[in-house]
Amino acid sequence: MAQTTESESRKLLGRLRDALAEDSAGQARLDRIVQLIAASMETEVCSIYLFRDADTLELCATEGLKPEAVHKTRMRLGEGLVGRVARQAKAINTADAPATKGFRYMPETGEEAYSSFLGIPIQRLGETLGVLVVQSREARQYSDDEVYALEVVAMVLAEMTELGAFTGEGAALSARHQHPVMIRGGVGQEGTAEGNVWLHEPRVVVTNPIAEDPDRETERLTTAVEELRAKVDEMLTASAMSDKEQRAVLETYRMFAHSRGWMQRMCEDIKLGLSAEAAVEKEQSAARARLQNAPDAYMRERMSDLDDLSRRLLRILTGQGRETGAEMPPKPILVARNIGPGELLDYGRSLRGIVLEQGSVGSHAAVVARALAIPLIIRADHITTEALNGDPILLDGEQGIVHLRPEDTILSAFRDKMAMQAKAQERYADLRDKPATTLCGATIGLTMNAGLMADLPSLENSGAEGVGLFRTELQFLARSNVPRRGDLAALYSRVLDAAHGKPVTFRTLDIGSDKVLPYMKRPEEPNPALGWRAIRVGLDKKGIMRMQLQALIRAANGRPLRVMFPFIAQFDEFREARQHLLDEIERERKLGHVLPEQLEIGAMLETPSLVFAPRQFFEMADFISIGGNDLKQFFFAADRENERVRRRYDTLNVSFLTLIETVANRCAEADTPVSFCGEDAGRPVEALCFAAMGLRSLSMRPASIGPVKHLLRRVDLNDARAVIDEARESGAQSVRPAVTEWLSKALAQG
């Protein structure tokens, strides 16, 4: 096939379909396929390399190279020309392979006789499964038509590999979606869980990659694209009065849907022998390969838009909707690329855990997962392409590890770990009604973080003394429009009812950064975490702040009310926000509404600047809560989303503990209560050190209260402080080693 034509390509695909239909083993099919491709391409060599593990390619079939090299020749990802094709997910086409950068001679194959080389990635939806190679003695550059034709063949091979057409002996030919897989991601919410996969959006399965009638397939594609365009237009019409950003996303959808180039490329794929469905997937894979390596972040973000549009088109073509008829398993662990807060709240507490390919620790999904106390793993690469509905799955939310289809040894060890945790929780239950009083007589108040009504039963069960942080943004994030004041007032009132007189601290709307309201325009910012967020939005959008403050006042209905403003960076921001609340109190008084019995107005200290605010700030605030998650990332200039840097810095670093001590001392001088709120408050060793630095209140997830209380009741803070001071004076970077060693001895003696 030196000069490729449409009919010749279709003939080759037809022969491949016949070979795949034969009742033969996977190895025999592969052997037959390389023979067919070599003959059609008029080349001396055709070889197929497949991954045997994440980093190693194996020669699985060849026509032209030494047959004894099959399943013997292996190379690492990036090694040799084949490894480069796999790593870069791009074709390499050269007339002089030995002179090409990266070439590696494999003597056992006998390939020294061949000069030209064309390697094509076998890929499906951004996942590279292997490499298809043709070689010839003649020093020739393969034509664009030949490259394109081989890409079409590689697409078919990818689909058939996915469907299990090439299974056989050895790791490289093992059946997909059956072997154990460990995926390391990021921690979105701590906790452990065992269950079965429930795919939020099941993959569309293409069972007919090859088609005989290109005219019929083109007609099917055209009809489906017209339906897709009509649906996108309907969405745009429906959103005519919606937020501009939401409309901009839909406009991007329409741009892709009406792209002539996109349609033309898919039609060309069909002419060469692909079905309409396979043509859509081929172009989706090709676009992903281009966009994920784009230097422009905006272009990389458009990849998800194109993915979504392609999935919509595939569902129209195949008739495979989101509802597949599969039953949700009894212990569902949700697996998705990403998910919105409303959709996640619909699942509610039925989920045992969540695994996302995307997401961040500050994303909507993470906020909801924390509120539901559900373990969450984020940035778990390829989980949606690897997992199938019903697959056994384990989540280790402490380490950020997912075990898919785990081996018995892993499963046994994991269950032992969960059993130990459950046993410990039973032990902690005995402490539920006891105070967190240390051996030296200091009592530490332990409160819980919440964000949903469903969290409130934990207030009694965990032994929490109140709600140290009630996140109010969830009711805003889960809706497509601004919630009504009456609805918010009713919700906040139910929260106070459920607390049965225990204090509840309501944090006003904390949006921005990763928490973006669907009905509010998101500004283009180079660093949203340091941008227009939280109190900055509230002071600029006074209407929303005023409405929420009115709802809180009316919800109190004569009961005590604690309101906390987030992300205060300077005294004037707190003074202005506080005055807004006092103004609303005065308006409610004039309207004759019942006012709170007691009003406390506090600030969340999340920026280092506020540590050094004027003395008047600490005197004016009724209470202060240290927002540990943000404060730590700003203090160390280390983005908590960035795995490369965030783990470099320890919470028990002497500098950070000195900062905490400074806050505690300044609050003590002003007689202002101060607490620490965040993930670190729920870690027993960190909680001990915070208490030793002078903090007498900690707010954490409910499950952490027992372990923290258990440790605090067994230690003397004076001894702990002496160990910390000695470590600081020694020039140690972190006090963790010294404190851990002291604890092990002290607890052993106790």
pLDDT tens, 285-314? 777 766 666 555 555 556 666 777 788 888
Strands 443-450 and 697-700, bridge-based pairing: parallel
C-alpha to C-alpha distance for 50 and 89, rounded to whole angstroms: 13
How high is the pLDDT of residue 1?
45
How high is the pLDDT of residue 501?
92
Cα 645 → chain centroid: 18
Segment holding 642, helix H or strand E: none
- Amino acid at site 742: W
**pLDDT tens-digit readout, 380-417:** 988 888 888 899 999 988 888 999 999 888 888 888 88
Averaged pLDDT for residues 414-424: 81
C-alpha to C-alpha distance for 362 and 20, rounded to whole angstroms: 47
Secondary structure of 297-328 in HEC code, one letter for each residue: HHHHHHHHHHHHHHHHHHHHHHCCCCCCCCCC
- Answer with the residue of higher pLDDT: 277 or 482: 277
**pLDDT tens-digit readout, 158-217:** 888 877 778 777 777 777 777 788 898 888 888 889 999 998 877 777 777 888 888 999
Angle between helices 684-692 and 736-749 (to 10 degrees): 100
Is pLDDT above 80 for 577? yes
Expressed in percent and rounded to 5, the helix, strand and coil fractions of the chain are: 50, 20, 35
- Amino acid at site 330: P
How high is the pLDDT of residue 298?
53
Residue matched to tokens 């569309």: 204
C-alpha to C-alpha distance for 104 and 127, rounded to whole angstroms: 24
Averaged pLDDT for residues 477-498: 85
Averaged pLDDT for residues 690-708: 93
How high is the pLDDT of residue 514?
59
Mean pLDDT of the chain: 85
Q: How confident is the model at residue 510 (pLDDT cuts 50, 70, 90)?
A: confident
Secondary structure of 17-73 in HEC code, one letter for each residue: HHHHHCCCCHHHHHHHHHHHHHHHHCCCEEEEEEEEECCEEEEEEEECCCHHHCCCC
- Name the CA radius of gyration of the chain, rounded: 30
**CATH class of residue range 181-202+326-420:** alpha beta
C-alpha to C-alpha distance for 115 and 103, rounded to whole angstroms: 11
Q: How confident is the model at residue 371 (pLDDT cuts 50, 70, 90)?
A: confident
C-alpha to C-alpha distance for 674 and 691, rounded to whole angstroms: 11
Is pLDDT above 70 for 702? yes
In 3D space, the residue among 559, 516, 564 whose CA is nearest the CA of residue 537 turns out to be: 516
Is pLDDT above 50 for 130? yes
Beta-carbon-side half-sphere exposure of residue 613 (alpha carbons within 13 Å): 27
Q: For domain 8-163, give the CATH number.
A: 3.30.450.40
Number of H helices, E strands in the chain: 28, 23
Query: Is the whole model's pTM more than 0.85, yes or no?
Result: no
Is pLDDT above 60 for 341? yes
Q: For domain 431-749, give the CATH number.
A: 3.20.20.60
C-alpha to C-alpha distance for 427 and 183, rounded to whole angstroms: 32
> Which residues 6+ apart lie within 8 Å of 545 measured at CB?
508, 509, 538, 539, 577, 580
With beta carbons less than 8 A apart as the criterion, state whether 560 and 522 touch: no
Averaged pLDDT for residues 18-44: 83
**pLDDT tens-digit readout, 234-283:** 777 765 544 455 566 667 667 777 778 888 888 988 888 888 988 888 88
How high is the pLDDT of residue 2?
41
Map out the domains of the chain as residue ranges: 8-163, 181-202+326-420, 214-318, 431-749
Q: For domain 214-318, give the CATH number.
A: 1.10.274.10
How high is the pLDDT of residue 238?
64
Count other Cβ atoms within 10 Å, centred on residue 292.
12
Angle between helices 485-499 and 542-556 (to 10 degrees): 40
Token duo for residue 40:
């059609």
Angle between helices 144-162 and 260-271 (to 10 degrees): 80
C-alpha to C-alpha distance for 64 and 38, rounded to whole angstroms: 9
Strands 192-199 and 332-336, bridge-based pairing: parallel
SS3 (DSSP) at 395: strand
**pLDDT tens-digit readout, 721-740:** 999 999 999 999 999 999 99
- Answer with the residue of higher pLDDT: 139 or 113: 139
**pLDDT tens-digit readout, 596-650:** 999 999 999 999 999 999 999 999 999 999 999 899 999 999 887 777 787 788 9
**pLDDT tens-digit readout, 432-475:** 889 999 999 999 999 998 877 766 777 777 889 999 999 888 77
Strands 353-356 and 376-378, bridge-based pairing: parallel
Residue percentage of the chain with pLDDT more than 70? 89
